[in-house]
Structure 1
Amino acid sequence: MNATSTQTSPLGGRDLFWPPADELTEAAERIRARLGDWPPTHAPWRICLTAPDDANGGDLIIVADAQQHGEPVARWQVQGAGVIVAAAGRATLHLGGERYSLEGHLAEDWIPALAAFLDCGFAPHDALVLALAWRDGDETRGADAWPSDLARFPQVTGLPAAPQQAFARCPERLGLYPVLPTAEWVERVVGLGVKTVQLRRKTAAPGELAREIARCVAAGRAHDAQVFINDHWQLALEAGAYGVHLGQEDLHKADLAKLAAAGVRLGLSTHGYYEILTALHFRPSYVALGAVFPTTTKVMPTAPQGLARLARYVRLLDGVVPLVAIGGIDQQVLPQVLATGVGCAAVVRAVTEAADPADAISAMQRGFTP
């Protein structure tokens, strides 16, 4: 990269590519200029078109055939670098011991698009999803170049088969969605008129847990409320729960076909584009998008998404599947969350730590009134 481009680059004058490639840098700058304002990335990724002598944790090395490189691919990963194997409409990222496989369209500008989305602060696997959703010339069309047509997004490959029947649908806009620690809380909250709740009980003896879930299901039926059970899908199925909420790590453990056949609704957690595509593969009842803000209720695998990303996810998925915003949401920020167009917000401490839970619930429910 020459001195002039370093001074004028909207990407901070970093060496985006190795070896330096002026044409790719110019394309990346052109694309980045049309993607809007995003906080500067704290991870200065460098896309390597050929393998550097010494790979480092900021390198994404692009190769056409992993088998051709054999041992170096493993060594690069040990050194902290990522490897993207890209050819014939397929791109697979190997990073941090994980494998992210995508099948889609590789535009001529997919590599500079990847650089631009990385600069927007997206993790490599999410930036790769967006790069495969990019089409040459998108930066010249319309006022907003951000990919928002789901039909153009890639598919995640290598996933277990989805159940033959899709999961039963939830209402399109689930409204206020308290996530609660005990059956006592569930009974209290549905008694206040809340129609969607979740029991998230992580530790309990098996017998006690079964009794808690049965109480929650009974409370839901008594108040015509939709009760989801977090994680414990077998007990939820046995108790006849309305729905189950699972994290991405649970998808390989649960009998999804059995749940779908029983009419149990399924909610899935997601933390970015790659996990959203993974969730959609299983045709769930709703997709949870988070964490929107910092939260202390659980250890999160990713940094907070923020409102700008949430708005992008809603734009992509509105009308496709019911959406739930989750993570650090309280009465104060709820109006900003709902302004993104999402039809449901999950809350935890905003209810369980409220001075007057009934007043807090009433105030938040008013926010969902058209």
Structure 2
Amino acid sequence: MSLLNREIFWPPADELTEVAERIRSRLGEWPAASKEWRICLTAPDAHGANDLIVFTEQHGADVDRLIADGAAVLEAHGERAVLRRGDERFVLEGERSDDWLAALAAFLDCDFEPHDALTLALAWRPGDENKPDAWPVDFDTFPRVGDLPAAPATPFPECPQRLGLYPVLPSAEWVERVLDLGVVTAQLRRKSTDADDLKREIERSVSAGRRHQAQLFINDHWREAIAAGAYGVHLGQEDVQTADLDAIAKAGVRLGLSTHGYYEMLRALHFRPSYLALGAVFPTTTKVMPTAPQGIARLARYVRLLDGRVPLVAIGGVNGDVLRDVLATGVGSAAVVRAVTEAQDVKAAVSALQHEFAR
């Protein structure tokens, strides 16, 4: 897709546009961008929701007003870049190549959200477009997420690099049923506000995990998981700010973290979790997702960057129809929900899913 006939930069910057076009042409086929961003090198008089306004020097602009008007604002000084969009704030630290703004335009055109496009743009290095695979794949060039609390002094325990089939289940009865079928990794996602119910369900699930020597994770309820002696807990990005990660680590409980793109992966890695969940790969109705589905192509890129660095779990809309394609990316685990809990024959469904991992 050509960038040359579009207003990519304001004021018009032909040289930047040509470099962006050259980079974009080397990134391969991606879905058309759902939003055509305009990168503004100075604050325009008329600005709106499609504008990403970049300041690389000190300025007197009213950033709060620009954001209130719907624009995104990126302030990049030295090795620190701060992106603000609505109520969200994204901080990245690291070197920038001379072509980083052109790379930002190219990755935005690949339909990445601004914070993920910025992450990739900061990882871009001169000459990358001349490589057989132009996509940033060297982890050492990627920026760091800034302004994060310290990671726990006690590292989270490790779990197997390849966790295999990973059913996410609504009750202890389901946990027992699935573990009895030979599944060795599972998660209890109990949607309840009843403290007594949570305690019973978690204790019963943990007990089943011990009987089967399985890797049983508890979703969200980390206090109850610690009390029950759970193998692990699974938390969302928003939980990192509220959960006592030190207490989880000191209890010897493993930690899995949800991620939804490059920025969140780097943010999660700061805390040295036991595994990362990458999603949602496909549309899912089991929960409201903060981002659009990632798709197989993005999943493959994530796996290539992180495989061997931390165990990875693909999650979101995964079922028997797509599992083979998911595993072809090299990911070592896939979480499933309805593929098990809504199966007409649960034993047959689990067997078929397990067979895909054994291929």
Would the TM-score normalized by the shorter structure come out above 0.5? yes
Q: CA deviation at 1:247?
A: 0.1
Aligned counterparts of 2:37 and 2:317: Cα–Cα separation in 1: 29
- Contact preservation (8 Å) 2:4, 2:21: no
* Structure 1 pair 12–180 and aligned structure 2 pair: CA distance change class (3 A): farther
Aligned counterpart, 2:29 = 37
Deviation readout 1:143-168 (Å, 9 max, x if unpaired): 11100111110000001110012211
* Structure 1 pair 211–48 and aligned structure 2 pair: CA distance change class (3 A): same
Q: Percent identity?
A: 66
The number of aligned residues is 359
Is 2:207 aligned against 1:254? Answer: no
Q: CA deviation at 1:137?
A: 1.9
Is 2:129 aligned against 1:139? Answer: yes
Aligned counterparts of 2:177 and 2:224: Cα–Cα separation in 1: 22
SS at structure 1 position matched to 2:90: strand
Q: CA deviation at 1:13?
A: 2.1
CA root-mean-square deviation: 1.0
Q: CA deviation at 1:258?
A: 1.1
Deviation readout 1:52-100 (Å, 9 max, x if unpaired): 001100000011356x325x21111011101100111111101111110
Moved more, 313-322 or 89-98: 89-98
Q: CA deviation at 1:261?
A: 1.3
Aligned mate of 1:69, from 43, 48, 60: 60
Q: CA deviation at 1:217?
A: 0.3
SS at structure 1 position matched to 2:291: coil
Aligned counterpart, 1:26 = 18
| Unaligned stretches of 5+ residues in structure 2 | none
Is 2:91 aligned against 1:101? Answer: yes
Aligned mate of 1:56, from 27, 48, 51: 48
Moved more, 213-222 or 165-174: 165-174
Aligned counterparts of 2:88 and 2:257: Cα–Cα separation in 1: 20
- Contact preservation (8 Å) 2:100, 2:124: yes
1:244-323 to structure 2, matched below 5 A, reads 244-323=233-312
Aligned mate of 2:333, from 324, 341, 344: 344
- Contact preservation (8 Å) 2:257, 2:276: yes
Aligned counterpart, 1:118 = 108
Deviation readout 1:228-285 (Å, 9 max, x if unpaired): 0000000000000000000000001111011111110000000000000000000000
Aligned counterparts of 2:82 and 2:207: Cα–Cα separation in 1: 46
Aligned counterpart, 1:181 = 170
1:145-294 to structure 2, matched below 5 A, reads 145-294=134-283
Q: CA deviation at 1:12?
A: 6.5
| Unaligned stretches of 5+ residues in structure 1 | 1-8
Aligned counterparts of 1:260 and 1:203: Cα–Cα separation in 2: 25
Aligned counterpart, 1:327 = 316
Deviation readout 1:281-325 (Å, 9 max, x if unpaired): 000000000000000000000000000000000000000000000
Aligned counterparts of 1:166 and 1:29: Cα–Cα separation in 2: 44
SS at structure 2 position matched to 1:177: strand
Q: CA deviation at 1:204?
A: 3.6
- Contact preservation (8 Å) 2:4, 2:17: no
- Contact preservation (8 Å) 2:165, 2:335: yes
SS at structure 2 position matched to 1:235: helix
SS at structure 2 position matched to 1:367: helix
Aligned AA (1:168): P
Aligned AA (1:83): V
Relative to the length of structure 2, the TM-score reads 0.98
Aligned counterparts of 1:246 and 1:170: Cα–Cα separation in 2: 16
Aligned counterparts of 1:98 and 1:293: Cα–Cα separation in 2: 24
SS at structure 2 position matched to 1:368: helix
Relative to the length of structure 1, the TM-score reads 0.95
- Contact preservation (8 Å) 2:235, 2:255: yes
